[in-house]
Amino acid sequence: MALEDPVQSAQGRALHARYGDDSAPALLWNDTIAALLAHRSVRAYRPDALPPGTVETLVAAAQSAASSSNLQLWSVVAIADPDKRRQLAALAGGQKHIEQAPLILLWIADLARAKLVADDAQQPAEGFEYLESFTVAAIDAALAAQNAVIAAESLGLGTVYIGALRNRPEEVAAIAGLPERAAVAFGLVVGLPDPAHPAAIKPRLPQAAVLHHETYALEAQRDAIARYDDVARAFQQSQGQDVVGWRALLLARGRSAASLNGRDRLKAALRALGFALR
């Protein structure tokens, strides 16, 4: 009897975890792709301090991400202080992992530095008052943060993004001591995962719903979405969660302004923080 190819079996297990069934496409494969497919959000941490140099390593990885026109319109504030982390946890709806882990990184859409440079050069900065510039800053921050996530996981650390910091942008900005024209786009918790509460890989939509060749196809996604709803239900049941499927989560988030948990006023909050958004 032929021996099972360990690479193929590892790839099969990884694909099944990522897509929740055996219908995943054939992929090219190496250790980097394996690590990417193994990503999971960690929400239970040990309180252990991180090794010296961890933050600097993650930021170096983040700075190696692409940046639009090399403008580098992002910054990061590393928060290790327990009291500040408690405040941030409360502002994010009581997410206890912000308190458990030793570090949260606040990723900043940062136009303050650009304005400083323009003011020092006695040059106008009108271009930074437009929505495009804020969009570039937010995208740059996201690209940088994802590089940091990959670096953290390579070091055996866990992470989880915290979008709920946008529920109360002005208060979060005050904790981080941000100047005008700087806002926290999201947080990133970093720490050692608690082995007593291992995180699972959450299945994603089938590629049939997200991958389009040459032109976008909307109507054709219905079957893939229906299949994914079954996968999501099975995952929720395995995790002891409410078994509602994926569509119900999507519909709940988009049902009303109130379902955005305060983020319906994000434009007003950003303007209060100094972004013109013209």
| Helix axis angle, 82-91 to 169-176, nearest 10° | 170
pLDDT one-digit tens code per residue, 79-109 = 999 999 999 999 999 999 999 999 999 999 9
**Alpha-carbon distance values, 174 to 31, 36, 171, 182 (Å):** 41, 34, 5, 11
In this prediction, residue 79 carries a pLDDT of: 98
Is residue 99 within 8 A of residue 85, CB to CB? The reply is yes
Is residue 73 within 8 A of residue 114, CB to CB? The reply is yes
Containing H/E element for 78? strand 74-79
Domain at 54-198, CATH from 3.30.420.10, 3.40.109.10, 3.20.20.80, 3.40.50.720: 3.40.109.10
| Plot region of 237 (φ>0 → left; ψ -120 to 50 → alpha; else → beta) | alpha
pLDDT one-digit tens code per residue, 161-181 = 999 999 999 999 999 999 999
CA distance 43 to 194: 9
- What value, to the nearest 5°, has the Cα angle with vertex 37 and ends 165 and 203? 70
pLDDT one-digit tens code per residue, 216-265 = 999 999 999 999 999 999 999 999 999 999 999 999 999 999 999 999 99
Q: Which amino acid is at 246?
A: W
CA distance 140 to 187: 14
Joined together, the tokens standing for residue 153 give: 């996981």
In this prediction, residue 1 carries a pLDDT of: 40
> How confident is residue 4, by pLDDT bands cut at 50, 70 and 90?
very low
Containing H/E element for 218? none
Name the DSSP class of 219.
G
Residue-range domain boundaries for the chain? 1-38, 54-198, 201-262
